[in-house]
Each structure stands twice: as C-alpha cells, then as structure tokens.
C-alpha cells in the first residue's frame, strides 16, 4: 500500500463537510493477482427511501516538476482502478481529486 497523498486529509475533510460518510481509507481492490488501493471510499444517503450514492476517490497532488508525467501516471492508475471497481462494485463511481491549478 502506498503512502497517503499530500492532500489526503484536505479531500477527506471536504467530503465529510459535504455530508459524505468515509467508509474506506483506503478502499482496497483486487485486480487479478494485484492488490490496488483507491485513497478513499465514501457513501452519501440521498433519501431514506432511496439507495445511497457511493463513490471512491483517488487523490493526486501534482507536486513534482513534471506535471505531464504525473498526469500520465494518474490517468493510467485511474483507468486501472475504474476497471477493477466496475468488477467489484459497479454502482460506486470513481473520481480523481486534483488541485484546481491542474
């Protein structure tokens, strides 16, 4: 499992303030023999009689000098996580959290 991103706490706090319940920190996925970890899993109840909305959030800080290299890595990781997530829990939507400057 990799270390937490520089903005992990900021994103987690923002989700909680918006009414999300953090259910996984991190959200573990299996892709064949690979163990993958999306940074956060969260749920938000829309209404008592409706099924809750579920998300997973991968957090990237883009702090290195090469933003394009980080973008390639983040996009590749996102695609792999999305495929694995669709097999495990297709009703959970995957998001990529990045700084607004990116």
Domain map of the chain by residue range? 8-94
* CATH number of the domain located at residue range(s) 8-94 in this protein: 3.40.1350.10
Burial 6-30 (b: 16+ CB within 10 A, else e): ebbeebbeebeeeebeeebebbebe
Please name which of 16, 27, 12 lies closest in space to residue 89, comparing C-alpha atoms.
27
Round the average pLDDT of the chain to a whole number and report it. Answer: 88
Band (6; pLDDT cuts 50, 70, 90):
confident
In the 8-state DSSP scheme, what is residue 19?
T
Q: Tens digit of pLDDT for each residue in 49-96?
A: 546 789 999 999 998 899 999 999 999 999 999 999 999 999 999 999
């Amino acid at each position: 499992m990799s270390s937490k991103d520089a903005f992990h706490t900021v994103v987690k706090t923002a989700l909680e303030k918006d009414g999300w319940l953090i259910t996984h920190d991190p959200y573990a996925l299996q892709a064949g023999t690979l163990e993958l970890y999306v940074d956060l899993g969260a749920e938000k109840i829309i209404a008592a009689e409706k099924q809750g909305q579920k998300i997973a959030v991968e957090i990237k800080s883009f702090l290195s000098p090469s933003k394009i290299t980080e973008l390639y890595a983040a996009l590749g990781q996102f695609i792999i996580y999305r495929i694995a997530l669709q097999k495990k829990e297709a009703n959970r939507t995957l998001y990529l959290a990045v700084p607004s400057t990116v």
